[in-house]
Amino acid sequence: MLLAINANNTNVKFALYDGDKAVGDWRIKTEAGRTADQYVVWLNQLLAMKGLTLKAIDAAIIATVVPQSLFHLNLLCENHLGTKPMVVGDPAVKLGIEVKMDIPMSTVGADRLANAVGGHLTYKRPLIVVDFGTATTFDVVDQGGNYIGGAIAPGIVLSVEILHSATAMLPRIVVERPGRVIGKSTTEAMQSGIFWGYVGLVEGMVKRIAEEFGGPLDVVATGGLAPLFHGNTPVITHLDPDITMRGLVEIYRRNRS
């Protein structure tokens, strides 16, 4: 079975695949200093709850935007799972798409590249993948599945934390759709500014990206807060929480075929 690992700035997600079928997925908070030994104890316990063992894993692929985590994730795979992982961004790992950027492919977020691969695999048309993660990213994929660039904005939770920590009177709030746009309390006002502000960000960015791209694009939302926004703006056409991991599975397949 294939273990796909996506390490971002908030969580490390592990998903185990038997062919195309996900048989389990788990998350752990990202800590750059977490050791391979700590990962394997945690993972072994979760596998056991599904009646699986570490021996079921015979391949691995890693995408990470946290360079400090890569060393320990590599050790996890090599020392405890007995397999050398593929690493997205390694020159030897082929994506099967072009990366049309002005910077080296290795400097583009590995999760953003996996989103492009996973998105084209499913939708087969020009896309914007909006990933509501630690950062809110907009990734543009052309008709051929090639990654042509995008935009990066502060993430929603990050914005909430900055409002709370950098001001004397603003509380920490739960991110949710408020009952009205004009808040009648400080909490309501903050929720309105965050929620509808990000709806406006998404709508404005999608409009401008489509104008510059020169044609219509499907818009796919993913990431932890994507379900909150899907259905609350007509520009988001698909909700796809598994797009990144599906992209990792496909990248592995392309390099093993």
Q: Is 64 annotated as a binding residue?
A: no
Cα 127 to Cα 66, 90, 206, 256, distances in angstroms: 26, 25, 10, 26
| 253 is an annotated ligand-binding site residue | no
102 labeled binding residue: no
Q: Is 11 annotated as contributing to ligand binding?
A: yes
> For residue 187, what are the contacts with CB-CB under 8 A and spacing of at least 6?
171, 173
Tell whether 131 is in a known binding site: yes
- 36, 80 contact by CB (below 8 A): yes
Q: What span, in angstroms and rounded, lies between the C-alpha atoms of 40 and 210?
A: 44
| Catalytic (active-site) positions | 111
Task: Return the axis-axis angle of helices 186-213 and 156-165, rounded to nearest 10°.
Answer: 140
Q: Is 244 annotated as a binding residue?
A: no
User: Any binding-site annotation on 84?
Assistant: no
Is 74 annotated in a binding site? The answer is: no
E strand map for the chain:
2-7, 11-18, 21-29, 59-64, 86-87, 127-132, 135-141, 147-154, 218-222, 238-239
| 153-175 b/e (C-beta count within 10 Å ≥ 16 → b) | bebbbbbbeebeeeeeebeebeb
Q: Is 207 exposed, middle or buried (0-12, 13-18, 19+ CB in 10 A)?
A: exposed
User: Is 109 among the annotated ligand-binding positions?
Assistant: yes
Is 8 labelled as part of a ligand binding site? yes
221 is in an annotated binding site: no
- 115 a known binding residue? no
Q: Which positions make up the binding site for substrate? A: 109-112, 186
Q: Which positions make up the binding site for K(+)? A: 131
Q: Which positions make up the binding site for ATP? A: 6-13, 134
